[in-house]
């Protein structure tokens, strides 16, 4: 069914409000129009592109939540966060992230997305990676979108260590996994306070 421009733009606005992370390509498919038409609609409606929308959502929702590092130091954009439990970030692979000769992303960017997410999910002002066990499952390429999901597996209050597992995906395909052994300061500080009271 062919929709009028006005009707399409109303539905487009509602769709983006429901899911700010939807791509222009996904919108074009949904409304059965070209990507260029979607971009023109967004321009007319003053709706920013995906990257800007992700950034806006992250700034509004997580600026006050993330304690262990400034939000702008996280590699990728955080889209979901529950401190000491789980977090999700999206990383768009651009030209500056890949090797020129083959368009494959430099591994340290994929690692940095996962590592910074493991730091960000810690509910502490100081969180440091002490050890990481990582595995690259496949190469990530230019223009791919990497979705990293972090899950806190264990918090050891006696040592101040937290184990965070991160899995990164491109279109539901696993591309990277990592287990990050994180040091956090608050348990150590709590122990020192208790010792001072004894």
Q: List residues bridging with 177 in a β-sheet.
A: 135, 167
Q: Mean pLDDT across the stretch 63-82?
A: 73
Percentage of the chain with pLDDT > 70?
Answer: 83
- Listed in sequence order, the DSSP H helices in 32-183 are 35-45, 50-62, 107-120
* pLDDT tens sequence across 88-107: 999 999 999 999 999 999 99
Q: Is the pLDDT of residue 44 over 50?
A: yes
Q: List residues bridging with 164 in a β-sheet.
A: 152, 180
Q: C-alpha distances in angstroms, 196 versus 100, 192, 193?
A: 57, 6, 5
Q: Does domain 66-189 have CATH number 3.40.1390.10?
A: no
* pLDDT tens sequence across 179-189: 999 998 765 44
Q: Comparing C-alpha atoms, which of 176, 183, 181 is closest to residue 131?
A: 181
Q: Comparing C-alpha atoms, which of 141, 70, 44 is closest to residue 102?
A: 141
CATH of domain 5-47: 1.10.10.10
* pTM for this entry: 0.67
Q: Mean pLDDT across the stretch 120-145?
A: 93
């Amino acid at each position: 069914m062919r929709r009028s421009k006005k009707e399409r733009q109303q539905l487009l606005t509602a769709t983006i409000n429901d899911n700010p992370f939807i791509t222009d390509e996904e919108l074009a498919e949904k409304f059965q129009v070209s990507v260029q038409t979607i971009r023109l609609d967004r321009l007319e409606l003053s709706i920013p592109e995906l990257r800007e929308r992700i950034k806006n959502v992250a700034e509004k929702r997580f600026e006050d939540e993330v304690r262990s590092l400034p939000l702008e130091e996280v590699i990728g954009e955080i889209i979901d966060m529950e401190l000491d439990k789980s977090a999700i970030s999206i990383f768009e692979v651009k030209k500056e992230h890949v090797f020129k000769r083959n368009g494959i992303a430099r591994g340290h960017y994929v690692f940095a997305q996962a590592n910074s997410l493991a730091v960000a999910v810690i509910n502490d002002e100081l969180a440091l990676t002490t050890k990481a066990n990582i595995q690259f499952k496949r190469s990530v390429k230019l223009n791919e979108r990497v979705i990293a999901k972090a899950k806190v597996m264990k918090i050891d209050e006696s040592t101040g260590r937290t184990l965070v597992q991160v899995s990164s995906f491109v279109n539901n395909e696993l591309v990277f996994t990592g287990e990050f052994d994180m040091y956090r300061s608050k348990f150590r500080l709590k122990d020192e306070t208790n010792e001072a009271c004894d």
